[in-house]
Amino acid sequence: MLKLAAPLVITQLCWVGMMTTDAAMVGRLGATALAGVSLAQVLYFTIFVVCFGFIMATAGLAAQAYGARRPRQVRRVIRQGLWIAILLSVPSCLVLFLTADILTWLRQPADATAAAGLYAQTLLYSLPFAIAFNVLRNFVSALNRPMVALWVMATALPINALLDYALIFGNFGLPRLELYGAGIATSIVNALMFALLAAICLWRRPFRRYNIFGRFWVPDWQVFREILRVGGPIAGLELLEAGFFITAALLMGLIGTLAIAAHQIAIQVPFVTFMIPMGLQQAATVRVGHAAGRRDARGAYRAGWVAIAMTFVFMAAMSVLILLVPEQLVRVFLDPATPNGPEVLALAVSFLLYAALFQVFDGIQAVAAGALRGLNDTKMPMWIALLSFWAIGFASSITLAFGFCLGGIGLWIGFVLGLVVASILLTWRFGLLGRQRYLPDMLPQDLPPAK
């Protein structure tokens, strides 16, 4: 598990490192700019997780095909995953183009909405490349070569920081573009990452033997439908989970601009630590999928439980760290000397205390869901997410924040309740299937000849 998960974890940390760099640099422009970026990223992230959910089906399906020693089926899964990435990108970019109008309709603060619209005008171009990059990352991970994606992300991290520094603040002789420049930097970096990983898949062993771009325009509707069948509930689960947090960010907008800025900072810290469970989630999907392809039920469930146990140990340690130095962590993202800096700092520290509570359960539920994806079990986790995040978590957040007048603190308490329930139910589901020795059906091996 460590051999596969470590590169995936570091890759996730590089990805969040780019987002953290964006937030830290934009935070130097003031609370309004930070709130605007927060709102724009809320909409961007909502769209991204839906697209990501669909293409995440390629990870489990490709891993199962690789475990069953069916290289042609691996190729078909990745090709059709790229098809779906392209089809999803077009309407997604159109929605991002309307960011300012959508946020105005959602009654967000006018100053933050204007900043969000400016940022989204250039950020939207990064989306197609980000989705397609993750399809290719699933491909190399399914082949037990996650280091490839890691090196690509590690190369992109300093480039992103330099572009942010140059375009946001007008350094190296470039114009000062502020939020507009932040979106340009993100789009350039995502395009470079996709191009580099695609070149590696085309020309480097062992990837080139799969010829994933050969006769790319030839459809394979059987695999296309299977990706949608498995990926649809994953997208639903991701939307329910992300929508839970995203709606809370929008509700923060009803409280005020300072509350949005504090929330953005406080959520960024557990978001960084959450990248370790995200890497373990992907490793669990691949390792469970490999064992399922070999028809090894014992190995599949052992892999899942190992990933869950590792997640619990790490996230518990991170909770202790947050409780020990909350103010120092907030100062990474905020200069207290900026206007309203002290008020935002104090509010963000209070939010972080609840983040320390929920992140253990957040990590466990994410990895349990990843293990279930390796078994193509995606519908039940989606219903569990609906119950946990919305029927329990969101209802609690609204009641506590506005009914009991707890404001932002009430919203964060709702986070904790929703994630506790989700982690319990998803681990129960994985244990139930383990006792039944359940393994998913494989795609038929006698597919039409490759074109």
Task: Write out pLDDT tens, residues 181-212.
Answer: 888 898 999 999 999 999 999 988 888 888 88
Q: Are 93 and 124 in contact (CB under 8 A)?
A: yes
pLDDT class of 450 with cuts at 50, 70, 90: very low
pLDDT confidence of residue 190: 92
pLDDT exceeding 70 applies to what percent of the chain?
Answer: 98
pLDDT confidence of residue 443: 65
Identify residue 57 by its one-letter amino acid code: A
Identify residue 131 by its one-letter amino acid code: I
pLDDT confidence of residue 273: 85
pLDDT exceeding 90 applies to what percent of the chain?
Answer: 30
3-state secondary structure 95-139: HHHCHHHHHHHCCCCHHHHHHHHHHHHHHHHHHHHHHHHHHHHHH
pLDDT class of 311 with cuts at 50, 70, 90: very high
Task: Write out pLDDT tens, residues 236-245.
Answer: 988 888 888 7
pTM for the full model? 0.78
Averaged pLDDT for residues 52-62? 88
Averaged pLDDT for residues 23-51? 81
pLDDT confidence of residue 211: 85
Which DSSP string do the residues of 270-294 spell out, in sequence order?
A: HHHHHHHHHHHHHHHHHHHHHHHHT
Q: Are 93 and 121 in contact (CB under 8 A)?
A: no
Contacts of 121 (CB under 8 A, 6+ apart): 97, 99, 180, 183
pLDDT class of 444 with cuts at 50, 70, 90: low
pLDDT class of 445 with cuts at 50, 70, 90: low
pLDDT confidence of residue 147: 87
Determine the angle formed by the axes of helices 257-293 and 110-123, rounding to 10 degrees.
40
Our CA dihedral for 238, 244, 250, 254, rounded to 10 degrees, sits at 170
Task: Write out pLDDT tens, residues 107-142.
Answer: 777 888 888 888 888 888 999 999 999 999 999 988
- Interatomic CA distance for residues 377 and 115, integer angstroms: 41
Determine if residue 211 is left, alpha or beta; phi over 0 gives left, psi from -120 to 50 gives alpha, anything else beta: left
pLDDT confidence of residue 31: 73
pLDDT at 17 over 80: no
**What does pLDDT average to over the chain?**
86
Task: Write out pLDDT tens, residues 401-437.
Answer: 888 888 888 888 888 899 999 999 999 999 999 999 9
Averaged pLDDT for residues 345-364? 88
More confident residue, 31 or 186: 186
pLDDT confidence of residue 3: 84
Contacts of 25 (CB under 8 A, 6+ apart): 164, 165, 168, 169, 182
pLDDT confidence of residue 43: 85
pLDDT class of 451 with cuts at 50, 70, 90: very low
pLDDT at 447 over 70: no
